[in-house]
Amino acid sequence: RVALVTGAGGTLGGAVARAFGREGASVLVGYRRSQDEADAVVADIEAAGGAAHACQLDVTDQDSVEDFVGQADRRYGRIDVLVNTAGRLDEADTVRFEQMSAEAATTLLAVDVIGATRMCHAVIPHMRRAGRGAIVNFSSTYGNGINPENAINWVPVTYCAAKGAIRGLTTSLARDLAPEI
């Protein structure tokens, strides 16, 4: 199998990429800023006998998304799995809604929601040609909203909205693409 993992230079994405590598998948490790961490993920996969390649990816940029998916197709000849773990939650954004700038909110939504949407849209034709595939979008329990007792001071409303949108995207795609994907 061939797995594409976004945000694989981070803790969660790196763990997902390593797990796919351990199971014998060839993995395209997508990272935005953390090349050293992505290279470490690749090294771990290769040390375990797997195949992996790190590739810079900005899920908010269509050209970057197309290049990433194209590299997977050229390098491995197929795309079996897409895992979207790329996300954004900077410490500076961990404020109440009215204190978060519109620019910061838009960036968070662009990475979490639009980025996942771009990635899904880019891989679906490859999976359709193969007659199968799987897409995994990571969300959060915060997609159900904030628990004011323990989270209002550090989880922004926009983050919760983004994670709720990912849930809606995933559920809707599952219904639209089944049974092949």
Choose, from 31, 76, 142, 159, the residue flagged as catalytic. Answer: 159
31 catalytic? Reply is no
Round to whole Å and give the CA distance between 158 and 146. Answer: 10
Contact 41, 14 (CB under 8 A): yes
Q: Say how far residue 129 (Cα) sits from the centre of its chain.
A: 22
Spell out a b/e string for 125-147, using b for 16 or more CB atoms within 10 Å of the CB, else e. Answer: ebbeeeeebebebbbbebbeebe
Contact 5, 20 (CB under 8 A): yes
Round to whole Å and give the CA distance between 125 and 117. Answer: 14
> Which amino acids are annotated catalytic?
159
